[in-house]
Chain A
């Protein structure tokens, strides 16, 4: 008998034995057995979290264990699959977790499946959380999630290019004002145009994501897409102005804007292909050490339009499902996440949700992005996305196709009018 045959038989035999053993025991290799309703037992809870946010809560969990004795097991899932998983478990009434970290856009969808946590929103807490987030956490009169960390788009720019004497002189000569981090749409346009030369581009234009254009809509003085009464306002003058500004930057950006998303824009900037980018603040601290732009990047608050500076916050909220049998322990963990919120800043993602946590770090070297982030999140025109359960559908089926057609040269007025009809149909 050949060695290969012997091995094959051994593998088969081993496999069958394993299968029989596992059928008999039903065990897995990952951790403690969860009981229905979420937790692995008294004094232990399961926390469902998007993979990128896991590290944010690791330190909190350790501290919470010391303070309250509660063991925290993390269920880590990729972002793209998390919504399906949450929908599946909430609709079945059988949840495998006691706390869920929810993207802000999901709050309206899951408002009936999570518990009010009003008691955690004391006056002190409300004062230490950015106003837009306090507003967003309150759905139908109850607070249903405590922000664990938040983000917003700021301006990242090539400090070395901006400080170059020749660039400064040339820019001054051409545009009649000093080259510095842009504060207005006009400045952003001028600087983008100025640096678009010799194989380099002034900025990127992201056709595959909608948040950035929506930030410009806020800067132009309009609520995003829907007004307070859920009327569709996507065809108003501010949306048109913001879209024209957005599309107008395409001539100072790499070609193929329709397909540029966050990852592509981040790569372009980190590779030194663009002089500026409007990007989530966390990216400042994630520039690879071996990147051509490492150590050469500056950060500034998001640019302003006629309504001033504005950004779209990107917070994640900790919520407690109604179906959990460990409400007390779950709420204790949420409280821990607030109390030790600044620990998230030491994680890979490096974000927090409390104003005081950002302020504690803002003057330290390496955290230069925090001041612009605080300024953007505190800006009066900054607002969260509309509280509708259809929001993700609106984004995927209307807003992104609209942007892709617009950056490809479509008629912006016609596109906005068409988008209005589509959104009205979706909301019927």
Chain B
């Protein structure tokens, strides 16, 4: 008689091995565990997301609330988040100040020209670098990055002198060119990574169908990377829209942009927080609208590299 038959008769022998469960039940336990794990992961992610939102959103919200405060509320000690009394006075003061409307127009002009210049130069440059992969191309893209390492003030003053000497002093074009020196390297790098993610097969197929190299770029590659172009455009636009130092050094009466006007609320003899925050809040509206309009393209652009391979 085997041990097994003895055990069967006398009941199960003492053992540490758990009793086997039906397959269905075991799966149920695992699924619950997995779902619980997923729930906690999701909760942690939501908490992190909320923390990030607070971190990024709070300064803007504080700025927004301050713009509705009375003068004495803006300098309250300790500071308050919400206005004790809501007022539109700061908006009236800020928008009624001479030169504000003109500065908005100048900001738009400068940012649009700078963005257009950046894209016109960055797209072919990035395409050439990624498709031809020459040693000089690699040197060029590294050199483009090096220009970002130079403190803007070091080039701002000579650039202002150069613009004056060619008769472009105090023009949006001069400031746009200066802003392009900031945004172009970043644009080239961004566009290079987007072009890298487009399989060469697409262009080859277009060439087989009779497209020239430029035709393939225009008809096939550019539409594929349009999301990337939108992302690059947004970054170039923002770089120009918010830039202060070059605007300070290179603009006077005709082309002063809004960041300089906002800074003008801080004077040697006082700081008009209310008007400053009101104008800053208004100034952020076009960028928010632009981002919302291009949201889909931006998301597409952000995930463009994700499908590679």
Residues of A at the B interface (CB closer than 8 Å) are 4, 7-8, 11, 15-16, 18-19, 22-23, 26-34, 36, 40, 46, 48, 50-53, 73-81, 84-85, 87-89, 91-92, 94, 96-97, 103, 151, 263, 266-268, 270-271, 273, 280, 282-283, 286, 288, 290-292, 314, 349
- A-B pairs, 4 with minimum CB distance: A52-B267, A28-B254, A51-B264, A92-B161
Contacts of B173 in A (CB 8 A): 22-23, 26
Q: Does B125 contact A (CB under 8 A)?
A: no
Between-chain CB contacts (< 8 Å), 6 pairs = A15-B116, A36-B164, A52-B268, A73-B253, A81-B245, A81-B249
Q: Assess whether B132 is interfacial by the CB under 8 Å rule.
A: no
Q: Are B164 and A94 in touch, CB under 8 angstroms?
A: yes
Say whether B214 faces chain A, with CB atoms less than 8 Å apart. no
Which residues of the partner chain B approach A52 to less than 8 Å between Cβ atoms? 267-270
Query: Do B253 and A46 have beta carbons less than 8 Å apart?
Result: yes
Selected from B116, B169, B249, B254, the residue in CB contact (under 8 A) with A29 is: B254
A262 to B: closest C-beta gap in Å:
8
Q: Name the CB-closest residue of B to A88.
A: B157
Is B285 positioned at the interface, with any CB of A under 8 Å from its CB? no
Residue in A18, A19, A31, A266 whose beta carbon sits within 8 Å of that of B254 in the complex: A31
Contacts of B264 in A (CB 8 A): 51, 76-78
Chain B's closest residue to A280 (CB) is B269
How far does the Cβ of A253 sit from chain B's closest Cβ, in whole Å?
Answer: 13
B72 touching A271, Cβ below 8 Å: yes
- In the complex, are the beta carbons of A92 and B160 less than 8 A apart? yes
Taking a contact as CB atoms under 8 Å apart, the answer to whether B169 and A8 are in contact is: no
In the complex, chain A residues whose CB is within 8 Å of the CB of B109: 18, 22, 28-29
Q: Which residues of B contact A28 (CB under 8 A)?
A: 102, 106, 109, 170-172, 254-255
Let me know if B290 and A290 touch, CB within 8 A: no
Q: B40 within 8 Å of A by Cβ? A: no
**A29-B106 contact in complex given A46-B252, A88-B249, A290-B70, C-beta closer than 8 Å:** yes
| Chain A: minimal CB distance from B129 (Å) | 24
- CB of B293 within 8 A of chain A? yes
Of chain B, the residue at the smallest CB distance from A58 is B98
Residues of B within 8 A of A78 (CB): 248, 260, 263-264, 266-267
Chain B residues positioned under 8 Å from A92 (CB to CB): 157, 160-161, 164-165
Within 8 A of A (CB), among B253-309: 253-256, 260-261, 263-271, 290, 293-294, 296-297
A156 to chain B minimum Cβ distance, whole angstroms, is 14
Distance in angstroms from B75 CB to nearest chain A CB is: 4
Interface residues of B in 238-256 (CB under 8 A from A): 245, 248-249, 252-256
A11-B290, A28-B172 known, 15 other contacts, Cβ within 8 Å: A8-B293, A19-B117, A29-B101, A29-B254, A48-B252, A52-B267, A76-B99, A76-B256, A81-B248, A81-B263, A91-B157, A94-B161, A96-B169, A151-B269, A349-B269
The winner among A31, A36, A51, A84 for most chain B CB atoms within 10 A is A51
Known: A30-B99, A77-B260, A288-B71. A96 touches B161 (CB 8 A): no
Main secondary structure of the interface of B (DSSP, over half): helix
Number of A-B contacts (CB under 8 A): 183
> Is the CB–CB distance between B254 and A263 below 8 Å?
no
Select one of A22, A32, A282, A283 contacting B172, CB under 8 A: A22
What is the bound-complex CA distance between A96 and B260, given in angstroms?
16
Q: How far is the CB of A163 from chain B (nearest CB, A)?
A: 23
For residue B169, which residues in chain A have a CB less than 8 angstroms away from its CB?
34, 36, 94, 96
A residues near B116, Cβ cutoff 8 Å: 15-16, 19
What is the interface residue range for chain B against chain A?
35 or more
A44 CB to closest chain B CB (Å) equals 10
User: How far is B164's CA from A373's CA once the two chains are assembled, in angstroms?
Assistant: 43
Residue of B160, B253, B294 near A88 (CB, 8 A) is B160
- Asked if B145 is at the interface (CB within 8 A of a chain A CB), the reply is no
Tell whether, in the assembled complex, residue B253 and residue A282 are in contact, meaning their CB atoms are under 8 Å apart. no
Q: Please give, as numbers and ranges, the residues of chain B lying within 8 Å of A151 by CB-CB distance.
A: 269
Whether B102 and A266, one on each chain, are in contact in the complex, defined by CB atoms closer than 8 angstroms, is no
Q: Is the CB–CB distance between B254 and A23 below 8 Å?
A: no
B151 CB to closest chain A CB (Å) equals: 13
Set of chain A residues within 8 Å of B172, measured between Cβ atoms: 22, 26-28
Q: Report whether B256 and A30 are in contact in the complex, using a CB–CB cutoff of 8 Å.
A: yes
Contacts of B157 in A (CB 8 A): 84, 87-88, 91-92
CB distance from A230 to the nearest CB of B (A): 26
Closest CB of chain A to B236's CB: distance in Å? 11
- Asked whether any CB of chain A lies closer than 8 Å to the CB of B206, the reply is no
List B residues 43-74 near A (Cβ within 8 Å).
70-72
Is B17 an interface residue when CB atoms closer than 8 A count as contact? Answer: no
A84:B170 contact, CB within 8 angstroms: no
* From A23, A30, A292, contact of B103 by CB (8 A): A30
Closest to A263 in B: B271
A26 CA to B153 CA, complexed, in Å: 24
CA distance A16 to B173 in the complex (A): 14
Chain B residues with CB under 8 Å of A288's CB are 70-72
* B296 CB contacts on chain A under 8 angstroms: 4
Complex CA gap A51/B290 in Å reads 31
Quick check: B269 and A96 within 8 Å, CB to CB?
A: no
Are the CB atoms of B249 and A30 closer together than 8 Å?
no
With beta carbons under 8 angstroms apart, the residue of A4, A16, A76, A286 that contacts B270 is A286
Chain A proximity of B128: nearest CB distance (Å): 22
**B168 in the interface (beta carbon within 8 A):** yes
B113 interface contact, C-beta 8 A: yes
Task: Report the Cα distance A340→B172, complex, angstroms.
Answer: 35
Interface membership of B112, Cβ < 8 A: yes
Residues on A with C-beta less than 8 A from B268 are 50, 52-53, 79, 103, 314
How far, in whole Å, are A270 and B271 apart by their CA atoms in the complex?
14
**Contact (A8, B99) CB under 8 Å given A15-B115, A26-B168:** no
Judging by beta carbons under 8 Å apart, are B248 and A84 in contact? yes
The CA-CA distance from A370 to B271 in the complex, in Å, is 22
Q: Is the CB of A29 within 8 A of B165?
A: no
B248 surroundings in chain A (CB, below 8 A) = 77-78, 81, 84-85
Q: Of B112, B161, B293, which contacts A18 at CB under 8 A?
A: B112
| Shortest Cβ distance from B157 into A: residue | A88
From A7, which residue of chain B is reached at the shortest CB distance? Answer: B293
Q: How far is the CA of A88 from the CA of B164 in the complex (A)?
A: 11
Let me know if A26 and B171 touch, CB within 8 A: yes
Residues of B close to A94: CB separation below 8 A: 161, 164-165, 169
B146 sits at the interface (CB 8 A): no
CA A96 to CA B42, docked complex, whole Å: 59
Q: How far is the CA of A270 from the CA of B77 in the complex (A)?
A: 10
- Does B76 count as interface, using CB distance less than 8 angstroms? yes
Q: Which residues of A contact B255 (CB under 8 A)?
A: 28-30
